[in-house]
A and B are shown apart, each in its own frame.
Chain A
């Protein structure tokens, strides 16, 4: 129990650091008032603007006000639109999640079995083909793959809508663009984890008592590769968010990723911060869940902080 509390506390601390980091980095990035109006504005308007947005307070006070705002999901108003930043972001979120969740699902559903298959035929042709395919998939940048798909399926064949949102067929290309590289990461990781587990002495012990290779893979190998896969899933979450930003731009997808790029270009602090904090908290949450899942899968992790049970040798 204290173990869970510890992990939770660590996650909260990371979140706080993230908020501070975002705030101060953006605050150092120049005066938004000057950026909005340019050099020709009269000082009074500038002053009024600063007053209105609280830019005249000392930095630490601005930060506290900001913290308080975040607590109430108030990230401030968007400079560009004058609407609540959170409102803007949350309106775009479903579209992004609609890309991310299927991507995660297909990456795992495709990558993990492929990796297991490659490991089972280690050194053979199937193994080598899988690895080569995975390396190629990983090497192609997402934007290039996206444009390629668009050219082939929309421009050339005319099967799929090239961009935007027109129905379920609009999902296919963006999800494929994102899932290809993530799935290849899963395939390679699963393969190496599987090879490693299968060379563990416990596999030989199981074989020596006559268990079938199939059974051994299921009861010994799969739970053991779950550990590295959990770690990878937490990390890949971050990558998928990155892919989403790129992919949404390529396919003109109405998601939070494209909003981020537009807002950065327009120096729209409030929106950028809202998105960064949202992605950051997602990452922190993913890592927290991974930590908790680790403790659930691996009994050694919870024990590491408990006094070791008294080791008593049973009498023969």
Chain B
């Protein structure tokens, strides 16, 4: 890759050359031939899917890789040459030179140590200004708090403060906002930008989310299978990608412009044909929440997780349920399968009131629930085919042979290859696992599918496949889907109607277009403003997408 001219003239802070990592016992290097340059105060994005080697690259720079990793290449940091294989040399730069924050903010901190203790370990200075610099406006009451008393966003800010306490020249941020709500994410991104602008701190920002990269970074590296396939100014890379992989990555992102269409990406597979426009919701209500209130007891105090929510899901409709963590969206959905009980109001399935004190087997067939973590939802010891057949076995649907062939048909419908049927979950990818849980959910021909953050943990290309599959299912089976997500981009792309929840109450609901284009409630507006957007020009034309889909893999 060539380095843009203006970058070479300015005195670079960091110059990386020929970085490569190979783990002992593996054939394929985790990454190789990675090179880039970073100026002081610059924010560089690294984008790629899981396993593309972006985290490994960052840890190689920090000297944080385990002993079984063989490192190659060199870096020049503030005029100081370091061989990356020399972990001690890169370890010496940690702290005042480079620092790093990680994806899971809740476990980045010591559960037994106060915020003050964390900062004091790193700097003798007064902790309050450092925390303020990290974006905690009023650090006073937080100083003696323990991590479990903080929210995810606060934890991440404390982690940033931990890094800032050593006054680093370069902060490497590895997916720091992936686990956070959009509004919290927006705050962290603004904070990182302010640190770069005001303090001249350079930032390497790693993310799988191109929109976030676009919002924050000036330049981006696109990584694929351990290599940098493309690098350049973000806008250029997004609007005129030079590498086929970048184009596919962009095409896989759900966006308003691609609404109701297949996300084109599967090379050689289905061309990106627009699906029939979402049918006007056939007015057959399948699942109805009437004035539902769910009450928990928290330390003797009654606490309403859901407050008087009324919502109807029609046949063949995809209804999006949006809200931040703790807004009660999952709790509401769980009342439909008896995992949460209503304190007031009722849930009706096909005009029958669900009374879970006297459950009917039929209800368990008609409503199926798909959770976020497919690894946790599958039995690690059982083969895939058996797991998909299990619901049929439990409900004694047909003979053994019939059940077996039905399970095979379901797995085929979710586009899982036959050679995977006898595998166990551990040897599958996240997307394959999630498709298996969908196949299992479909086994009993349900009326309603509840997807609770079912694509949140997946890479964009895998997410696109699952979204395409859900759209197909709606078309072919007329199944109604309640789709819960905090990702507004996905909701906008997929859903016919949207309901927004906050603090357990429904704040707004309506057709997707209406809610997104003319939000009525200030909270909805706040949510929408927080979504990082791609430039409009990044949307490839259908013709271009077809070209990518057909084959330049």
Residues of A within 8 A of B (CB): 200-202, 204-211, 215, 219-220, 223-224, 297-300, 303, 305-309, 311-316
Contact = CB atoms under 8 A, between A and B. Distances in A.
Given A303-B148, A307-B298, 9 more contacts: A201-B107, A207-B94, A208-B99, A209-B162, A220-B113, A311-B326, A313-B151, A313-B183, A316-B186
Contacts of B38: none
B332 interface: no
Interface in B138-173: 138, 142, 145-146, 148-151, 153-154, 157, 159, 162-163, 165-166, 172
Contacts of A204: 64, 100, 102
B116 to A, nearest CB: 13
A300 B299 CA distance: 15
Contacts of B149: 299, 303, 308-309
B511 interface: no
Interface stretch (B187-195, B206-214, B261-269): B187-195
A201 B104 CA distance: 8
Contact of B112 (A208, A210, A223): A223
B146 A299 contact: yes
Contacts of A305: 299
Given A205-B159, A297-B112, A299-B146, A311 B95 contact: no
A99 to B, nearest CB: 34
A161 B267 CA distance: 83
B168 to A, nearest CB: 8
Contacts of B188: 316
Chain B interface mostly helix, strand, loop or mixed? Answer: mixed
A303 B149 CA distance: 9
27 contacts: A201-B102, A201-B104, A202-B110, A205-B100, A205-B159, A205-B162, A207-B64, A207-B94, A208-B94, A208-B102, A209-B95, A209-B122, A210-B91, A210-B95, A219-B110, A298-B111, A298-B112, A300-B146, A303-B148, A303-B149, A308-B298, A311-B151, A311-B326, A314-B136, A314-B137, A314-B153, A316-B135
Nearest to A197: B110
A3 to B, nearest CB: 12
A211 B184 CA distance: 28
B151 to A, nearest CB: 4
Contacts of B112: 223-224, 297-299
A13 to B, nearest CB: 21
A227 to B, nearest CB: 8
B148 A300 contact: yes
A202 B107 contact: yes
B14 to A, nearest CB: 16
Given A205-B102, A308-B298, A300 B135 contact: no
A101 B337 CA distance: 56
B96 A200 contact: no
Interface string B495-539: 000000000000000000000000000000000000000000000
Given A207-B64, A211-B121, A299-B112, A316 B187 contact: yes
B467 to A, nearest CB: 29
The 4 A-B residue pairs with the shortest CB-CB distance, nearest first, are A210-B95, A316-B187, A210-B94, A208-B100
B89 interface: no
Contacts of B95: 209-211
Nearest to B162: A209
Interface in B366-416: none
A60 B340 CA distance: 45
Given A204-B64, A204-B102, A313-B184, A209 B94 contact: yes
Contact of A205 (B101, B184, B191, B299): B101
Nearest to B136: A314
B216 to A, nearest CB: 13
Contacts of B100: 204-205, 208
A314 B299 CA distance: 25
Contacts of B159: 205
